Amino acid sequence: MSEPISIAGSRIRTASGAELAYATRGRKRREADPAIVLLHGYCGSSAYWEETLPHLESSGFYIVPDLRGHGRSGAPAGAVYAMEDFADDLLELLDALGEREAIVLGHSLGGYITLAFAEKHPDRLRGFGLVHSTPLPDTEEAKVGRDRTAARLLEEGAAPFVNELAPKLFAAENRERMADKVARAAAIGLGVSPAGAAATALGMKARPDRSAVVRSASVPVLLVAGEGDAIVAPERTFIDAQGPGIRRALLAGCGHMSMMEAPAKLAEAIAGFAEAAASGQA
């Protein structure tokens, strides 16, 4: 396991006994505004957002944690990290920071956690969003892949899996053109706890269909997809969700990593949504 790459310099200790690392950026424009939480994806860390945050800091108060088993956060004992476990970590973080309400936006794995949080703690949300994520459960083929990934991580460590994964996260046309960013994504992933990543893989496998959480949401919802995403196809992000409270953003020239591939475009979508959700105009 490499030294974690993370922007999270603050910590709390959760009920599980593990440390949860986080960063904060920006400030609230109005006292009543909710905090905005950015959750990173699988085998990532808060550093996934490092290029996007400079475009966002003037638009609100952002909380950017390292998820359990990732970055500088601890990896509590357990064979499976359920999405609900991550959601409870987030609740503890919000409580520790004195934030009653939040807008929670999750990338990939972070989106699965966002949906679990929306289901368990709807009273704590002013809005939520999925960034290259989906409310749909794993296919049967994907579930087999999760088992294979977990076993491989425990047997081989993180490096072989992460180095294979990183290029696939980017749109095909960006893999060579953005080779430095592909390398950065891989370097971030090398800091993951192999046991924590294995437990997370099994938690993703077990997650239920949460399409109804999106369709029936009583708060605004942002759905962001990349045209060239080979991990989560746009139709799996957008599903058939309709309604005035649902915003969709399809980013051209992006795969699964718009926060690196097109940070200014992603920031524009996030900031516009957050402002509308905070003011009740979404």
Structural domains in the chain (count): 1
Residues 242-279: pLDDT tens digits? 888 999 999 999 999 999 999 999 999 999 999 999 98
Q: Name the pLDDT band for 17 (thresholds 50, 70, 90).
A: confident
Residue 262 belongs to what domain range? Answer: 10-279
What are φ and ψ of residue 77, in 5° steps?
Answer: -60, 145
Global pTM reads: 0.97
142, part of any domain: yes
34, part of any domain: yes
Residues 211-226: pLDDT tens digits? 999 999 999 999 999 9
36, part of any domain: yes
CATH number at residue 168: 3.40.50.1820
What proportion of the chain, given as a percentage, has pLDDT over 90? Answer: 92
Residues 76-126: pLDDT tens digits? 999 999 999 999 999 999 999 999 999 999 999 999 999 999 999 999 999
Residue 18 clears pLDDT 90, i.e. is over it: no
1, part of any domain: no
pLDDT at residue 241 in the model: 83
4, part of any domain: no
Residue 179 clears pLDDT 80, i.e. is over it: yes
5, part of any domain: no
220, part of any domain: yes
188, part of any domain: yes
